[in-house]
Structure 1
């Protein structure tokens, strides 16, 4: 900030600790309307992976926009000196998070629509547990208390970038399980699990049901399709076959796109620009964006969304209207979930180029898919290779190869509609696709899965033999 201010080219405002969606809102909120906002964050990644997020009133910058900034910075560095004469610092401090918090509060109050004094405390009588994961979501507790809710039992509200309790990642069981335990212990109506910078969330129902990943998308799809029948819902590439059927049976259109929340959001924006209505873009990671909210991935907005029964905790609005005891699971009735699922993360050893190994694995997978009778390549497909697997009796599993966005890892996602069925698909991957890759990929996760299931299957036979 000091560097930007010293150039005298802009009025620089330090908004302090903030969230990703609040940084965007600082560009469009009356009284602020900043031309651009920059955030330093590692999100849920280790603190040594800090990076920068850039925003304008149009939204977050994409790869092209960030690339242009990097290129300009490189030109300045190559010039060897500042291209401008130093000017007096123009740096001020403004707390914006309270402004954003009040925006959320007004949205809930207006959405519930109670009259008189009840307008100010629409969540009176509700018990809600917040798990901020030591990220920036602790302010949500103050927000909910101000709306009348009891937040006793909330977890890890103080920001701490070392994440002493668990990573602030609603995809992970270690984030969801303590929230589930707290919801049950407090007999709470709902638990909310937030990402570090509050751009995604997961929830726990009052009965302890964990709602994230495909379940979260199913509920969101149900809600959006009530108001916008026939709309497109864009998800990432790793969503289940059961979710696809759920969206289609609910009257929606489903486009499975690439992993990466910006990819999903950008594709939704492309559809809308082309005149194809797309109200929702959402990843299994918990990133969710609504057309009515600038296609911004905003966990707090999704959690507090006031207009009907929208996701994460816009559910709160419906709870306030109908009273305690609402069962969120009703909103995903009919969702067929996989009976077995694993993400195999196969590390590429030092000395090998990850992109090259990935392409070799992709080529081998493509060749195998053409000859294995039970495999069928999914079309269209926008990332890696996804193969549907005929598991018999009308059941369909799938396997997908893709490359990690951050690490030297090749990923195989596998789901099965058969109990312990992942092992059978993994065994085929080892024999038909990855034979000969032992030097280039750590195949031990696949071998371990196959061995463990084989051992479990042998146990009844051994017990029967011993009894005989």
Structure 2
């Protein structure tokens, strides 16, 4: 009897941003099957009934997204739920509508990854799914055993919402910031293939700014706010040199992470953008992963700084913890720039409702608003936080068990840790919340962290100057490479 050939490894995997993988593997029965699994989870725990069996479906501007969204709608329909086709819109706009009206949602997006890949972001009515939900979806996926798409799925036509979700999203911010809030500013909008490219222009103009569309693309461009392409940095400096701009703003593909440069075309770090946003909103507590700059505590700008593991689910849990501890205004953010509003914020009699999912529009408007409020350049506003110079990179194709063993050895063997950190004068403190973050006696930081969704060992460093940070990163990659080889 011949044994059945082993199935080829799939690229489809859950991470902190939902299910992702190659388009050729997702666009077909997998998209249909995972959506059916999500639907069964909602039915099982009563969430579907609570939303009157309605589920929102949105998408980004990738070429593959419309057909994958169609499969999602068909799977929901087969499960006895009613999909609402929300079209192309920013992820936070979809999530905002879902949370306002208690409706689950699915966003078809690969965010910043290349166009040959795509993904599904699943939202409960309360917000992003957590790890328990992920496990439930995977369990239902295995139980259903779907390996083909019914012919009838191709003919399912979902109705559209009665409310203009994009208009409601824009109104959320124009109502809070108020007419003329950005009057006098000239802002370049790097449009590329962001699903929010027109929304940003319209919102800035509604608030009184002069918005100049730049770099609109006809095909998808994978703009990663954590790992900028050299051509994006060159374009920003070129645009800043050609025109008198107060800032250049953009987002990743699905508009849940911002990209903001100062008047010189120099992009701000994501955690610095988060800090500017939190201070502008009067946050008394911020929640951010251990990878964000250590100057956040040293700045004294915030009453509470709560550190978490890397990933928005951990930041969301941390925001809930901060609120339970008595914080009044809570802002969460990641080193990639995604900002989450954990509590309602009231300013000048206007209320901005909590939106505990990553959003690019809020930090963009807060950063620009601070230019007007302080009468200073964005570069000067950022410099006031005195962030340390930082750098990061990764060792690829490193098995997770090898990365974990290296970090565990550092945690458990004092002699090994002392020898490794001797060139920096020894260890002053460690944080083992996610990997191992070591602060040297000279104030420099070296952080080794096994990736949560790829066979990689990530290395982060902080130093006084960028030149030193770059040298420190090279050293960190070298010593780690020898240990995990």
TM-score (norm 2): 0.71
In structure 2, list runs of 5 or more residues that go unmatched: 1-71, 345-353
Cα displacement (A) at 1:238: 1.6
SS in 2 for 1:16: strand
Cα displacement (A) at 1:386: 1.0
SS in 1 for 2:123: strand
SS in 2 for 1:301: helix
In structure 1, list runs of 5 or more residues that go unmatched: 115-121, 305-310, 442-468
Matched with 1:68 is: 136
Q: 1:342 aligns with which of 391, 402, 407?
A: 391
Q: 1:297 aligns with which of 350, 358, 362?
A: 358
Cα displacement (A) at 1:266: 2.4
Counterpart mapping for 1:320-331 below 5 A: 326-331=376-381
Q: Are 2:189 and 1:189 equivalent residues in the alignment?
A: no
Matched with 1:172 is: 228
CA distance in 2, matches of 1:405, 1:388: 22
Whether the 8 Å contact between 1:44 and 1:195 is mirrored in structure 2 is yes
Q: Are 2:43 and 1:43 equivalent residues in the alignment?
A: no
Closer, same or farther: CA 73–113 of 1 in aligned 2, 3 Å: same
Whether the 8 Å contact between 1:377 and 1:385 is mirrored in structure 2 is no
Matched with 2:294 is: 241
Matched with 1:459 is: none
Closer, same or farther: CA 4–127 of 1 in aligned 2, 3 Å: same
- 1:48-76: CA deviation from partner (whole Å, max 9, x where unpaired): 33221112331111221122122112211
Cα displacement (A) at 1:94: 2.2
Larger Rg: 1
Closer, same or farther: CA 148–28 of 1 in aligned 2, 3 Å: same
Closer, same or farther: CA 106–280 of 1 in aligned 2, 3 Å: closer
CA distance in 1, matches of 2:218, 2:474: 44
Closer, same or farther: CA 144–102 of 1 in aligned 2, 3 Å: farther
* RMSD of aligned alpha carbons: 3.5
CA distance in 2, matches of 1:88, 1:173: 38
Whether the 8 Å contact between 1:101 and 1:143 is mirrored in structure 2 is no
Q: Are 2:195 and 1:136 equivalent residues in the alignment?
A: yes
Q: Are 2:424 and 1:356 equivalent residues in the alignment?
A: no
- 1:107-143: CA deviation from partner (whole Å, max 9, x where unpaired): 32553356xxxxxxx6565321111331212122233
Whether the 8 Å contact between 1:54 and 1:60 is mirrored in structure 2 is yes
CA distance in 1, matches of 2:434, 2:266: 31
Q: Are 2:268 and 1:211 equivalent residues in the alignment?
A: yes
Whether the 8 Å contact between 2:339 and 2:360 is mirrored in structure 1 is yes
Higher strand share: 2
Closer, same or farther: CA 217–381 of 1 in aligned 2, 3 Å: farther
